[in-house]
Amino acid sequence: MTAAIKFGTDGWRAVIAEDYTFDNVRACSQAVAYYLKDSGLDKEGMVVGYDTRFASESFAAAAAEVLAGNGIHVYLSDRACPTPVVSFNLKRLSTSGAIIITASHNPGQWNGFKVKEASASSASPEVIADIEARIPNIQMGTRKLESMSIEEAHKNGLVEYFNPSPPYLDHIEALIGKDRLEGIKNAGINIVVDSMYGAGAGYTRRLLSRGKTRVTEIHGVRNPAFPGIQPEPIGRNLAELCDTIKRKKAQVGLATDGDADRLGVMDENGEFVTQLQVFSLLALYLLEVRGERGPIIKTITTSNMIYRLGELFDSTVVETDVGFKYVGPEMMKRDALIGGEESGGYGFRGHIPERDGILAGLYFLDLMVKTGKTPAQLVEYLYSKVGPHYYDRIDLHFPPGERDSIVERVSAAQPAELNGTGVARKDSYYDDEKKVSGVRFSLENGAWLLIRFSGTEPVLRVYAEAGSLNDVKELLAAGKELAGV
C-alpha cells in the first residue's frame, strides 16, 4: 500500500526505506514542480540542498532530476550544508524557492523533505496543502512523473552545481559586523562547539579562526548514524558537550542540530541554558547591546519573559502558533527584530525569515563579549530585569490510535486551579486541518502549562514555565495527569 505523505510543522519526515523512499521523494518533487508550473513560478528555478544524513545527496539528486525533467533550472549544492545556508542562497539567487533534504533533529533512521518559498521562509500552509494534494495522483500514476538523469541535466545546463558556503559566510560576517566579529575572535574565550554530526560542522570554527579565541569542535564529522546521540540540541542530548566544557574549562558550549537551524547553549558549569532563556537573552542583546528596536515574534511555547522585555524596551510582541511557517511571515510583515520558538530556532532581521543556529550562536558570543558576562551570569542579569522564569518540557510517546482520546480528555479539562494556583485562561490551538493540536492553561501568577502534539513526530509534548523549578515539575506532572498518558 502506498504511504500517505503528510507535511508537519516543518516538512515531511519518515523512516528511510520504510516510507522515505526514492519513489516518494520523486513524487514530492513532482508535486512541487506541478505547483511551480501552475503558479507561473517555474522560470526562476529552484535551489536543492541536503544535510549529512544517510544518502541525503542521492535523495537530493533525485529531486533535482525531477525538477530538471520538468524544465526547471536547479542550483544543486555540491556538498552537505545547513538549512539556513540553503535558505540564504535561494534568496541570493532569486529562485522560486528550495527543496532541502533533511530531517532536522530526528534520529538517524529518519530523513525529510522541506520546501522553502522565494522569501526563504518555510512554505505556507496554503502552499503545502496544494503540494500535498497533488502527491497521491503522482504515486498512483494517474499524473505523470517527469525525470531526467542528473548527468544529462547537468550537460544541458538544467542542473548547476554550486558551493553555497562562501556567500553565506560573507553575509554573516557583514551582518554581525567586522569589528564585533574581530572582538569575538580576540576575546580569548574558550568555546566548545557540538555539531552533533550534522551539517553545521566547521562553520563556527571557520568564522572564529585566526584569533585568541579557542574553538574545540566535537561530533564535527559526518556520521549518518548519529552514534550515541539524537541530533536535537537540548540538555539530555548534550552529555559529551557538558563533559568537554568541564574538561577544557570552557566558558560556553554551543550545539547545533542535524541541519544547524537550531541552537542549544550550555554555560560554563556544563548546565543547559533553556531555549526560553536563550531566546530572551538574544532579544535582550539586540535591544540593549545593539540598541535596535522592532517587533518580537514568539510562538505559543516560548517565554512570558518576552512580554516583559517588550514592555521594558517599548517593543511590540506578537504570538503565533508553533513553527517558522507562522513566525517567518509575521517577521516579514512587521519587519521584526527577532523571531523565536521553543525548539531553539531563532531568526533575525536583515538575514532570512528562518531559523539559523550558527548566527544565533555568534550573537550569543557577542553578548558575552560586550557584557563581560558568562552564560550563567547572563541568566542572572536577565532575571534582574524580568524576574525568575524556569521552564522544562517532557516528551511522551503514546499508543497508536490514542491521539483522539488524548485530545478529548485535554479539550474537556476545565481545572479551576493547577498546582494550587487559579487558572486564569484556557486557549485551544488547531492544526492546518482544523483539529485540536494543543491546549494551554495560563495561571493567575503568570505561569503556564501547554499540552501539545508534535507536528513532526508521534509525540505528545507537555511544556511548563513558572517562577521556580519545583513549580515547573508540579505543572508537568499535572499536564501528564490531564492527558492521561
Q: Give 293-342 pLDDT, tens digit per residue.
A: 999 999 999 999 999 999 999 999 999 988 898 999 999 999 999 999 99
pLDDT value of position 8 = 80
Q: Report the C-alpha gap between 252 and 193 in whole angstroms.
A: 9
Q: 0.75 exceeded by the pTM?
A: yes
C-alpha cell at 179: 569589528
Give the Cα separation of 199 and 222 in Å (integer). 8
Rounded CA-CA distance 283/197 in Å is: 28
pLDDT for the residue 46? 98
- Among 435, 370, 358, 433, CA closest to 403: 435
Count of C-beta atoms within a 10 Å radius of residue 230: 16
Q: List the grid coordinates of 49.
A: 540542498
Choose the weakest-confidence range: 117-121, 125-129, 436-440: 436-440
Q: Are 147 and 71 in contact (CB under 8 A)?
A: no
d(CA 341, CA 357): 12
- Out of 6-20, 79-93, 453-467, least confident range: 453-467
Cα separation, 450 vs 440, whole angstroms: 4
Residue 3: the pLDDT is: 72
Residue 192's DSSP bridge partners are 216, 253
Residue 387 has pLDDT above 60, yes or no: yes
Confidence (pLDDT) at 432: 66
Return the pLDDT at 397.
86
Mean pLDDT, rounded, of the chain: 95
Do 398 and 461 touch, CB atoms closer than 8 A? no
The dihedral built from the CA positions of residue 293, 297, 298 and 300, taken in this order, carries a sign that is positive
Q: Which three cell numbers stand for residue 25?
A: 521523494
Mind spelling out the 3-state secondary structure of 228-293? Answer: CCCCCCCHHHCHHHHHHHHHHCCCEEEEECCCCCCEEEECCCCCEECHHHHHHHHHHHHHHHCCCC
Q: What local confidence, expressed as pLDDT, does residue 472 receive?
A: 95
Please indicate whether residue 113 or residue 403 has the higher confidence score (pLDDT).
113
The confidence score (pLDDT) of residue 456 equals 65
Q: What whole-number distance in Å separates Cα of residue 367 and Cα of residue 338? A: 15
What are 428's three cell numbers? 485551544
Predicted local distance difference test score (pLDDT) of residue 398: 83
Length reported for the chain: 485
State residue 435's pLDDT score. Answer: 77
CA distances from 157 to 9, 69, 75, 145, 456 (A): 34, 12, 10, 20, 36
What is d(CA 44, CA 48) in angstroms, rounded to the nearest whole number? 13
Nine-digit cell string for 19: 516510507
Q: What confidence category does residue 107 fall into, taking pLDDT thresholds of 50, 70 and 90?
A: very high
274 φ, ψ (degrees, to nearest 5)? -65, 160
Given a cut of 60, is residue 1 above it in pLDDT?
no
What are the residues whose beta carbons fall under 8 Å from the beta carbon of 98, sequence distance 6 or more? 46, 47, 48, 49, 86, 87, 89, 90, 114, 115, 116, 120
Q: For residues 354 and 261, what is the distance between their CA atoms, to the nearest angstrom?
A: 8
Identify the residue with better confidence: 485 or 354: 354
**What's the CA gap between 321 and 429, in Å, rounded?**
8
Would you call 1 helix, strand, or coil by DSSP? coil
pLDDT over threshold 60, residue 451? yes
pLDDT over 90 (residue 288)? yes
| Ordered structural domains, the chain, with CATH | 12-163 (3.40.120.10), 168-386 (3.40.120.10), 390-483 (3.30.310.50)
Residues 6+ apart with CB under 8 A from 249: 190
Among 322, 357, 354, 319, smallest CA distance to 341 is for 322
Grid coordinates of 283: 532579544
Most confident option among 127-141, 390-404, 427-441: 127-141
174, pLDDT greater than 80: yes
Give the pairing of strands 97-101 and 448-453: unpaired
Contact 354, 98 (CB under 8 A): no
Which pLDDT does position 403 carry in this prediction? 83
461-480 per-position pLDDT tens digit: 999 999 999 999 999 999 99
SS (H, E, C) 420-442: CEEEEEEEEEECCCCCEEEEEEE
Contact criterion met (CB below 8 Å) for 91 and 54 = no
Write out the E strands in 9-57: 12-15, 46-50
Q: Is the pLDDT of residue 290 over 60?
A: yes
pLDDT at 228 over 60: yes
All 3 cell numbers of residue 316? 511590540
Amino acid at 353: P
pLDDT-based confidence at 273, cuts 50/70/90?
Answer: very high
